[in-house]
C-alpha cells in the first residue's frame, strides 16, 4: 500500500498555501495599491502633517482591501515596509530653565505688590492708633471729679499723659511726640468753625514718623484757648469743649507706593469731647 508523500514544509506557508502561490502575488498587489494611493495623496496638496496621517490611513486601508481581509493576511503576507512608511516624531526642544525665568519675572511684580500692601497696612495701623490716642486725650481732659467738683485733668500735661500712653502702644517714643501750643486751635482749610480737619500742610511735622499734638480748649462762652498750664479749680468749664488733634508724617518704604503718593503720607485725626460737670 502506497502512502501519499506529505508536501515539502519549506514550500508550504503558515496558512496551508505555498509561498509562491500566496506571498508573491499578494505582495505585488499590495505594493501596487499602496503606490497608487500615495501618489494621489501627494498630488492633493495637503500640509505635511495632514499628508503623513493620510498616508498611514490609506496604506492600511488599501492593504486590507487588496487582500480581501483573508485570514492568512498577517502570516502569509511577507511585505517589507517601505522606506517612506517610517514615521519620525519631531523632537521637542529643550525648555530647561523656562520656569525659573518666568518665576524670576513674575516674582518681582508680586514682591512689589506685597510690599505695597504692607505699606498701606502700616498706614491703616497708625491711623487707628492716632484716632485712639486723640480720643483718650480728649476724654481724659473732659473728665469731671464729682467728689472735688472740678475738672482735675483739663490741662496740657494731663491730656498729653493720656495721649502718650495710647501712642506708646503703637511703638512711638517720647522724642516722636511733640505738643504744639502755638496755634493749638488749628484753622481748617475748608473754613469749618469747629476746628475739624482738613488741616494746612504746615501743621504737619517735617520729620517722618513723628506726630504733632494740638489741644484746643473752648469755654462755655465760646472763647478758645490753645494751651492750659493747670486745670481749673472749680466747675466753671462745664459744657465747654476740648478738641485734641494729632497729625503725623507717615514714612512710606515701598518704591512703588512712593511713586504714587510721594515719600510720605499726612495722617490726621481729631476728637471732640464735651467737658463734664454738675450744677
Claim to verify: residue 70 and residue 129 sit in the same structural domain: no
List beta partners, residue 51: none
Query: 264-274 and 224-225 as β-strands: parallel, antiparallel, unpaired?
Result: unpaired
Per-residue pLDDT of the chain (279 residues; tens, 9 = 90+): 444 444 444 444 444 444 444 445 555 655 665 566 556 555 655 555 554 555 555 555 555 555 444 444 444 444 455 555 555 666 666 666 788 888 888 888 888 888 888 888 999 999 999 999 999 999 999 999 999 999 999 999 999 999 999 999 999 999 999 999 988 899 999 999 899 999 999 999 999 999 999 999 999 999 999 999 999 989 999 999 999 999 999 998 877 778 777 888 899 999 999 999 987
Claim to verify: residue 128 and residue 253 sit in the same structural domain: yes
On whether residue 100 sits in a domain, the answer given is no
* Cα gap 139→126, rounded to integer Å: 20
Claim to verify: residue 230 and residue 141 sit in the same structural domain: yes
Claim to verify: residue 27 and residue 147 sit in the same structural domain: no
Residue 12, Cβ neighbours under 10 Å: how many? 15
On whether residue 93 sits in a domain, the answer given is no
pTM value > 0.75? no
Claim to verify: residue 21 and residue 141 sit in the same structural domain: no
On whether residue 104 sits in a domain, the answer given is no
On whether residue 90 sits in a domain, the answer given is no
Claim to verify: residue 150 and residue 192 sit in the same structural domain: yes
Its sign, for the CA torsion 244, 249, 251, 256, is positive
How many domains does the structure of the chain reveal?
A: 2
Claim to verify: residue 134 and residue 229 sit in the same structural domain: yes
On whether residue 212 sits in a domain, the answer given is yes
* CB contact at 8 A, 158 and 145: no
Claim to verify: residue 186 and residue 234 sit in the same structural domain: yes
Claim to verify: residue 136 and residue 238 sit in the same structural domain: yes
CA-based max dimension of the chain: 154
* CB contact at 8 A, 205 and 239: no
Parent domain of 41 = 15-85
Claim to verify: residue 122 and residue 195 sit in the same structural domain: yes
* CB contact at 8 A, 217 and 159: no
On whether residue 20 sits in a domain, the answer given is yes
Claim to verify: residue 125 and residue 223 sit in the same structural domain: yes
On whether residue 81 sits in a domain, the answer given is yes
On whether residue 8 sits in a domain, the answer given is no
Claim to verify: residue 181 and residue 52 sit in the same structural domain: no
Amino acid at each position: 500500500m502506497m502512502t501519499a508523500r506529505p508536501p515539502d514544509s519549506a514550500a508550504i506557508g503558515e496558512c496551508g498555501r505555498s509561498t509562491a502561490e500566496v506571498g508573491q502575488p499578494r505582495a505585488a498587489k499590495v505594493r501596487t495599491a499602496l503606490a497608487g494611493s500615495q501618489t494621489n495623496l501627494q498630488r492633493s496638496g495637503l500640509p505635511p502633517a495632514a499628508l503623513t496621517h493620510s498616508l498611514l490611513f490609506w496604506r492600511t486601508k488599501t492593504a486590507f482591501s487588496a487582500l480581501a481581509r483573508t485570514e492568512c493576511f498577517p502570516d502569509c503576507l511577507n511585505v517589507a515596509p517601505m522606506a517612506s512608511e517610517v514615521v519620525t516624531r519631531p523632537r521637542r526642544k529643550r525648555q530647561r530653565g523656562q520656569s525659573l525665568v518666568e518665576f524670576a519675572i513674575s516674582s518681582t511684580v508680586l514682591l512689589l505688590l506685597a510690599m505695597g500692601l504692607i505699606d498701606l497696612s502700616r498706614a491703616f495701623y497708625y491711623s487707628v492708633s492716632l484716632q485712639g490716642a486723640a480720643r483718650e486725650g480728649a476724654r481724659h481732659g473732659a473728665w469731671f471729679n464729682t467728689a472735688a467738683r472740678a475738672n482735675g485733668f483739663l490741662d496740657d500735661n494731663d491730656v498729653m499723659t493720656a495721649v502718650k500712653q495710647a501712642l506708646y502702644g503703637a511703638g512711638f517714643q517720647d522724642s516722636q511726640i511733640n505738643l504744639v501750643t502755638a496755634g493749638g486751635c488749628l484753622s481748617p482749610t475748608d473754613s469749618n468753625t469747629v476746628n475739624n480737619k482738613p488741616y494746612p500742610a504746615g501743621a504737619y511735622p517735617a520729620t517722618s514718623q513723628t506726630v504733632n499734638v494740638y489741644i484746643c480748649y473752648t469755654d462755655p462762652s465760646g472763647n478758645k484757648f490753645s494751651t492750659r498750664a493747670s486745670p481749673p479749680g472749680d466747675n466753671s468749664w462745664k459744657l465747654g469743649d476740648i478738641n485734641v488733634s494729632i497729625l503725623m508724617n507717615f514714612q512710606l518704604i515701598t518704591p512703588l507706593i512712593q511713586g504714587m503718593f510721594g515719600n510720605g503720607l499726612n495722617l490726621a485725626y481729631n476728637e471732640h469731647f464735651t467737658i463734664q460737670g454738675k450744677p
